[in-house]
Structure 1
């Protein structure tokens, strides 16, 4: 697994240019692909061609707040659609430093409102929609449900966070720099948070909803699943956030993958630890969204001749 210098602006610019040049898939087996424009961002939509469950999921991609795009998660989003019958809506949100906070969160909030307002059109039950994200997307998802709660609109049925980027104060721990974590190290973490916040990471005060872990009261948030690797830079902050959720009376399930680095489930999705992570997440989503095993459902559905 590579060590990627996301703390270097030139590397980020080149990475984003390559992402723009790389064509997105136009078709995926068993999936109807669509695109929906929003005010600034857009949604990449994955619908199962058969076996729709009436449940949905808003997905927020990773990239340290400074890179990434929705199409990078085609494999995961299409797997949810095929295996769980979910309609998945993956958002392309604005990136820092060109668009610092609150641009990305505003895009995610608009996507959630749009999804609620158009649920009937998509054959979805508004009470059976989850929010999920990975890395920076996990941090945005955690902040998003906080804003949703305070705004008093319909909350998601569940929240799923993969290796979430939850606390900018981790960037202040310069002793972590020497560990040079794979994929996303603390130098990159400091650069990502600073670009997103528009001020140095770890400042005494940050804007409301900018950093999920900065919220003092976590009560009233939706049932949450958190998956993180044992040697991920974000392990400690993920564990602490899970502890605080539980203490606040929020149902929280923490899946710790031993000896796994950041975003291992994307780098090696077929590995044993990744399959265990996805299996645990699927169990959580099935329970939270009231999903029946599609294969079982098909096997027990009467047929006519």
Structure 2
């Protein structure tokens, strides 16, 4: 029997009532979802003074990984801008580098950040560590080309939503363990962290209850794990498995009280604190999975986005104060 669930925020409940929801995932539904058009990035850029650049980097197996780079127009860019390395959501099975891009572009507007978004390979075509390794290779490229991008390598924030939040956590663990590159902070928005899918919130949001249900979550994890058994799953893929969460950059973690990832996300923050690290955790009462992406105009969504942006501003300001020599003046080139 499904346990009782926290109620939805009243405004979100009303908005969600008119939205057709995907009730299940299988190979046929996945194929249909992939046929949907990509997010219209041009509409996000038309009112902004943004320079856009498309590059590709090599994965460890030689595959080509596309990156999109968005920066303030040169006349408004400092020599050492902050950078947001964005990893999109989509259950690790759908989406591209333009998905949810409106979120980091807010930080380009507010802080002059250079936004780099990565198009990692998707499951089930790519499995195991391939997805997180693709994201890591993109991050290495950003750090290695910081001067060319006008980016301060000491102010790189790794950020992502849903599956992208889980991959952002995995990339941050990998960067810590390999000793490079430096990550200033990690922004984990309703992150997909635990392949075991066995928490109370997972049980609450099963049986067709939720925008992203436990059954959908299981489908996504089966796609990325392939033939791996539970004892073979790397922590970089399922970060909740990481035994050591010490020495990580400061984290922002948020989730809704009415979603499948609530408990694994709050537990990840708790374990960062237990390891002596710093994490800011927000559980938005009545928020379902991805509420602020689907309905950014809702009052709770406005609050969630504003709170994240304020945190990014505090983190970047603190990093700038710690690294004053890295800050430059306007780039006239």
Residues 71-111 of structure 1, C-alpha deviation per residue, up to 9 Å, x if partnerless?
12232232221122110001111000011122111110101
The answer (yes or no) to whether the contact 2:168–2:188 under 8 Å persists in 1 is yes
**Secondary structure at 1:55's aligned position in 2?**
strand
Residue 154 of structure 1 corresponds to which residue in structure 2?
A: 181
Residue 42 of structure 2 corresponds to which residue in structure 1?
A: 25
Residue 163 of structure 1 corresponds to which residue in structure 2?
A: 190
Offset of residue 204 of structure 1: 4.0
Counterpart selection for 2:67 from 40, 43, 62: 43
Relative distance call for 1:275 and 1:52 in structure 2 (3 A) is farther
**Secondary structure at 1:225's aligned position in 2?**
strand
Offset of residue 25 of structure 1: 2.3
Does 1:56 find its partner at 2:79? Answer: no
The answer (yes or no) to whether the contact 1:231–1:259 under 8 Å persists in 2 is yes
Offset of residue 12 of structure 1: 1.0
Query: Which residues of structure 1 form unaligned runs of 5+?
Result: 293-305
- Number of equivalenced pairs: 291
Residue 31 of structure 2 corresponds to which residue in structure 1?
A: 13
The answer (yes or no) to whether the contact 1:159–1:224 under 8 Å persists in 2 is yes
Relative distance call for 1:156 and 1:178 in structure 2 (3 A) is closer
The answer (yes or no) to whether the contact 1:185–1:233 under 8 Å persists in 2 is yes
Relative distance call for 1:81 and 1:109 in structure 2 (3 A) is same
Offset of residue 34 of structure 1: 1.9
Instruction: Report the TM-score when normalising by structure 2.
Output: 0.81
**Secondary structure at 1:195's aligned position in 2?**
helix
How far, CA to CA, are the matches of 1:71 and 1:178 in structure 2? Answer: 29
**Secondary structure at 2:282's aligned position in 1?**
strand
Does 1:237 find its partner at 2:264? Answer: yes
Instruction: Report the TM-score when normalising by structure 1.
Output: 0.88
**Secondary structure at 2:100's aligned position in 1?**
helix
How far, CA to CA, are the matches of 1:284 and 1:52 in structure 2? Answer: 21
**Secondary structure at 1:120's aligned position in 2?**
helix
Counterpart selection for 1:195 from 203, 219, 223: 223
Residue 132 of structure 2 corresponds to which residue in structure 1?
A: 105
Does 1:3 find its partner at 2:29? Answer: no
**Secondary structure at 1:71's aligned position in 2?**
coil
How big is the alpha-carbon RMSD for the aligned residues of Structure 1 and Structure 2? 2.3
More moved, 68-77 vs 243-252: 68-77
Offset of residue 208 of structure 1: 4.2
Residue 298 of structure 1 corresponds to which residue in structure 2?
A: none
Residue 249 of structure 1 corresponds to which residue in structure 2?
A: 276
**Secondary structure at 1:207's aligned position in 2?**
coil
Does 1:115 find its partner at 2:133? Answer: no
Offset of residue 177 of structure 1: 5.6
How far, CA to CA, are the matches of 2:317 and 2:40 in structure 1? Answer: 36
How far, CA to CA, are the matches of 1:289 and 1:36 in structure 2? Answer: 26
Residue 126 of structure 1 corresponds to which residue in structure 2?
A: 153
Query: Which residues of structure 2 form unaligned runs of 5+?
Result: 1-15, 59-63, 321-333
Does 1:184 find its partner at 2:212? Answer: yes
How far, CA to CA, are the matches of 1:149 and 1:255 in structure 2? Answer: 24
The answer (yes or no) to whether the contact 1:58–1:131 under 8 Å persists in 2 is yes
